[in-house]
């Protein structure tokens, strides 16, 4: 398996305050990686920095995507290289309809294909509304996934797909993620890669993740089977889970 993403010794700060320190991480093409951690641990900061949001300042370290150093590239350049993100709480953009935006970002998806996906995601009636304008939590998540499905990135960051979503909608969101990642496609076909942030682990009921790791107090620690990690967290909490391998302060999958 070929390496798709490599993060070397990454240290991040927001407004001068350090949020992540010395993170090393890598993942291969087609892998799905679950990222666990308590609130404020630095999970969102990690993926936002990988995506290139300037608020998350890289103080030290490098980010390589498909063999290319993207550390200095801006958000849209990274996106065009094949990175994509589903926001936990995307902003509202009035006057720009979801339909129009999809047309702008669509990477070869036909109108029929888009409508088919929108119908599957129960978003047909939202296409002519402003982006995220008056959308419920579940609708926002589905809209994010719809956008990613037409954008077709190679590696997607999905930030807390379950948050603000009722139980009924979690299934729909979970199925949409599975579709997005191409897990329903033939085995030999190239799958999309993902880093998924989760608090509750509910999403593991729908998405088959290959690996998992824990971010705790600004450090990426522990790693292995995502279900085992979740089980440990549920039994003993984040701190104990983080302490189970105290020497592993840098982790490579």
Partner 1 sequence: MSTISTYLSDIRERAKKARDKKAALGPDVDLARYDQHVERGKIESLEGLPQQAREAAVMSGIDVKEEMRSGSYLQVDHSVVYERLNKLHEGKLEIMSTTEALQKYDWLEDYYWRAVPVDQDKYTAQAELKMTHGYFIRVLPHQKPEYPVQACLLVAENHVSQNVHNIIIVEEGAELQVITGCTLSKKDAEGIHLGISEFYVKKGGKLFFTMIHNWADNFHVRPRTWAVIEEDGAFVSNYVLLKPVKSIQAFPVAYLKGDRASAKFNTVVYGLKDSYIDLGSRIILEGQDTRGESIARTIAADESVIYARGDLVAKTKGYCLAHLDCRGIVFSNRGKIFAIPQLISEGALKAELSHEASIGPISEEQVEYLMSRGVSREDAVSVITSGFLNLDIPYLPEVIDRNIKEVIQATAKESM
Binding residues (CB under 8 A) for partner 1: these are 51, 53-54, 74-76, 79-80, 84-85, 87, 90-91, 93-96, 101, 104-105, 107, 130, 147, 151
> How does strand 130-131 pair with strand 32-36?
unpaired
Closer residue to partner 1 (CB): 28 or 106: 106
Closer residue to partner 1 (CB): 109 or 248: 109
Closer residue to partner 1 (CB): 151 or 213: 151
Least separation, in Å, of the C-beta of 93 and partner 1? 5
Give CA–CA dist 98/143, Å, rounded. 8
**Helices and strands in the chain: count of H runs, count of E runs:** 7, 12
Closer residue to partner 1 (CB): 47 or 229: 47
Least separation, in Å, of the C-beta of 84 and partner 1? 7
Two tokens, residue 221: 């620690």
Helix axes 137-151 and 111-120, enclosed angle (nearest 10): 150
Q: Which residues pair with 1 in a beta bridge?
A: none
Residues sharing a CB contact under 8 Å with residue 235, sequence separation 6 or more, in sequence order: none
Least separation, in Å, of the C-beta of 87 and partner 1? 7
> What backbone phi and psi angles, to 5 degrees, belong to 212?
-150, 160
Residues sharing a CB contact under 8 Å with residue 8, sequence separation 6 or more, in sequence order: 24, 61, 62, 63, 64
Closer residue to partner 1 (CB): 48 or 222: 48
Least separation, in Å, of the C-beta of 152 and partner 1? 10
Two tokens, residue 198: 């989760």
Give CA–CA dist 7/22, Å, rounded. 10
Closer residue to partner 1 (CB): 98 or 209: 98
Least separation, in Å, of the C-beta of 37 and partner 1? 22
Least separation, in Å, of the C-beta of 226 and partner 1? 25
């Amino acid at each position: 398996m070929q390496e798709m993403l490599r993060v070397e010794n990454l240290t991040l700060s927001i407004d001068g305050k350090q949020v992540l320190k010395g993170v090393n991480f890598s993942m291969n093409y087609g892998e799905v990686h679950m990222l666990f951690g308590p609130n404020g641990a630095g999970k969102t900061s990690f993926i936002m920095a990988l995506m290139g949001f300037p608020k998350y300042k890289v103080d030290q370290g490098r980010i390589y995507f498909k063999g290319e150093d993207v550390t200095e590239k801006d958000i849209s350049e990274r996106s065009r290289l094949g990175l994509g993100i589903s926001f936990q709480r995307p902003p509202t953009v009035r006057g720009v309809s979801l339909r129009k935006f999809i047309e702008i970002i669509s990477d070869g998806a036909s109108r029929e294909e888009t409508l088919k996906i929108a119908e599957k995601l129960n978003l047909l009636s939202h296409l002519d509304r402003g982006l995220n304008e008056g959308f419920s939590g579940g609708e926002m998540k589905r809209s994010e996934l719809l956008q990613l499905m037409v954008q077709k990135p190679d590696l997607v960051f999905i930030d807390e797909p379950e948050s603000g979503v009722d139980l009924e909608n979690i299934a729909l969101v979970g199925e949409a993620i599975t579709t997005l990642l191409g897990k329903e496609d033939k085995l030999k076909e190239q799958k999309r890669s993902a880093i998924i942030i989760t608090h509750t682990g509910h999403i593991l009921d729908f998405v088959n993740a290959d690996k998992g790791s824990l971010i705790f107090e600004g450090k990426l620690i522990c790693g292995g089977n995502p279900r085992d990690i979740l089980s440990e967290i549920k039994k003993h909490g984040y701190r104990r889970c983080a302490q189970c391998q105290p020497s592993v302060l840098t982790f490579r999958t």
